[in-house]
């Protein structure tokens, strides 16, 4: 029997790969699911598995407290026995787990498929940019979300095995939004009304691990809350909470009027908050895509994005962590027309990937 091994490690990978995993499970091949445990809270990961109706991993590890290099090395060491008999290894995105799976497949001479291939920020100071680029150059089968991603690969002389299939985030959204709206009570629980608040997520290493960008961003959030009169709802990522404490900024964040800190959310609650927000401010890649789908304007708290399609259609604006730029971008996006097209496909990405995999494996 043909053996497929899919390796994931973070909550964005759980979300985006859930429909792909389900489609691969339906092929009739042996399909082994590995979760590296790269993210911060395995309990939260299990909540995401539950919310998405995804089966438990066949192999579960825990790498959250290790350095990036140790995460890559440990994943290779731990997962090697699982992939040793694989006919195809599948990874997603740009995490340390992604890179580890790609290098492992290469060293074991296994065919490698990369889901969400070809996206580029063109900022090599981002660890994710290195991870995704290396993975693309090791992959045999590259599932690109857009023609822009295919063009990026072509510029790097990667042309064989490339297929534009859309982004599986759309599959996840279309499969889960009705369930989310039926089950979630988050708006009522928080006393929120549609279009009367801003959703904020903020956790990336370059933003929260240094006091300068983190403090500047807090000033920006304060300006947005004061200038728009909208409450900012802020599910605080464990990494951000840790760094606010380590950098002595807890009192500062607590002093920002209109900034409402809440605990991290499950996937269904987060979908409902996204869909009903007046504006999303984020440094997450996935939320840029999701906000675009929901036609909720976005401000990206970074200097670059690997989702340029969102900028081109006016769904998104870059602001970095400069307070004045954050405020200006928020005001501009709140006034933006919400008629942009969805550039990420029609919700059949997982079926297309499964069909390609089945054709390759026979």
In sequence order, which residues have a C-beta less than 8 Å from that of residue 64 and are 6 or more positions away?
37, 38, 39, 40, 41, 42
Please give the pLDDT value at position 49. 87
Record the pTM: 0.93
Please give the pLDDT value at position 11. 87
Q: What is the fold, at CATH topology level, of the domain defined by 3-167+345-361?
A: Rossmann fold (3.40.50)
Query: One fold for both 3-167+345-361 and 175-334?
Result: yes
> Where exactly are the structural domains of the chain?
3-167+345-361, 175-334
CATH superfamily to which 175-334 belongs: Glycogen Phosphorylase B; (3.40.50.2000)
pLDDT tens for the 362 residues of the chain, in order: 899 999 999 888 999 999 999 999 999 999 999 999 876 565 567 778 888 889 999 999 877 667 889 889 999 999 999 999 999 999 999 999 999 999 999 999 999 999 999 999 999 999 999 999 999 999 999 999 999 999 999 999 999 999 999 999 999 999 999 999 999 999 999 999 999 999 999 998 899 999 999 999 999 999 999 999 999 999 999 889 999 999 999 999 999 999 999 999 989 999 999 999 999 999 999 999 999 999 999 999 999 999 999 999 999 999 999 999 999 999 999 999 999 999 999 999 999 999 999 999 98
Catalytic residues: 203
From residue 274, how far is each of 82, 218, 290, 347 by CA, in Å?
37, 21, 8, 18
- Rounded distance, CA 166 to CA 348, Å? 8
Q: From start to end of 36-123, where are the E strands?
A: 59-60, 88-92, 111-115
Residue 66: strand, helix, or coil: coil
In sequence order, which residues have a C-beta less than 8 Å from that of residue 248 and are 6 or more positions away?
none
**Structure tokens, 99:** 């890179």
């Amino acid at each position: 029997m043909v053996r497929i091994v899919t390796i994931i490690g973070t909550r964005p990978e759980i979300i985006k790969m859930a429909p792909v995993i389900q489609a691969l499970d339906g092929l009739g091949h042996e399909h082994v699911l590995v979760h590296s445990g790269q993210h911060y809270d395995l309990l939260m990961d299990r909540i995401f598995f539950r919310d998405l109706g995804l089966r438990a991993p066949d192999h579960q590890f825990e790498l959250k407290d290790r350095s990036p290099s140790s995460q890559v090395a440990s994943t290779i060491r731990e997962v090697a026995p699982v992939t040793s008999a694989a006919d195809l290894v599948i990874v997603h995105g740009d995490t340390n787990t992604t890179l580890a799976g790609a290098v492992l497949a290469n060293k074991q001479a296994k065919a490698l498929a990369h889901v969400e291939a070809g996206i580029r920020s063109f900022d090599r100071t981002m660890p994710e940019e290195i991870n995704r680029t290396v993975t693309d150059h090791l992959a045999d089968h590259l599932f690109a979300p857009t023609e822009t991603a295919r063009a990026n690969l072509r510029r790097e002389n990667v042309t064989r095995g490339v297929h534009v299939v859309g982004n599986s985030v759309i599959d996840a959204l279309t499969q889960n939004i009705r369930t989310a709206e039926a089950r979630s009570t988050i708006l009522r629980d928080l006393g929120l009304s549609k279009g009367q608040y801003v959703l904020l997520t903020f956790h990336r290493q370059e933003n929260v691990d240094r006091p300068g960008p983190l403090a500047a961003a807090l000033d920006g959030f304060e300006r947005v809350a004061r200038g728009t009169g909208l409450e900012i709802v802020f599910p605080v990522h464990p990494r951000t909470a840790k760094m606010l404490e380590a950098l002595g900024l807890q009192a500062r964040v607590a002093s920002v009027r209109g900034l409402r800190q809440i605990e991290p959310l499950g996937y269904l609650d987060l979908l409902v908050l996204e869909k009903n927000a007046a504006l999303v401010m984020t440094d997450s890649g996935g939320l840029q895509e999701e906000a675009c789908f929901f036609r909720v304007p976005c401000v990206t708290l970074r200097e670059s994005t690997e989702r340029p399609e969102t900028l081109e259609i006016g769904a998104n604006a870059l602001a970095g962590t400069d307070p004045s730029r954050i405020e200006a971008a928020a005001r501009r996006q709140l006034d933006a027309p919400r008629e942009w097209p969805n550039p990420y496909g029609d919700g059949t990405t997982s079926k297309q990937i499964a069909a390609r995999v089945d054709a390759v494996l026979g």
